[in-house]
Amino acid sequence: MALFGGGTVLVVALSVLAGLVVGASLLWYIRWITS
């Protein structure tokens, strides 16, 4: 169960990180287009 819990935390962390990267990329893309 501990391993499963750690895996879940890892998946959540990766999902959050991926979301931040995508969000930053979209913001940068919008700034580049509108500049």
**Helix-then-strand count for the chain, H and E:** 1, 0
pLDDT tens per residue, range 2-20: 556 667 888 889 999 999 9
Average pLDDT over residues 8-33: 94
Tell me the C-alpha distance between 26 and 16, whole Å: 15
Could you give the percent of the chain with pLDDT greater than 70? 83
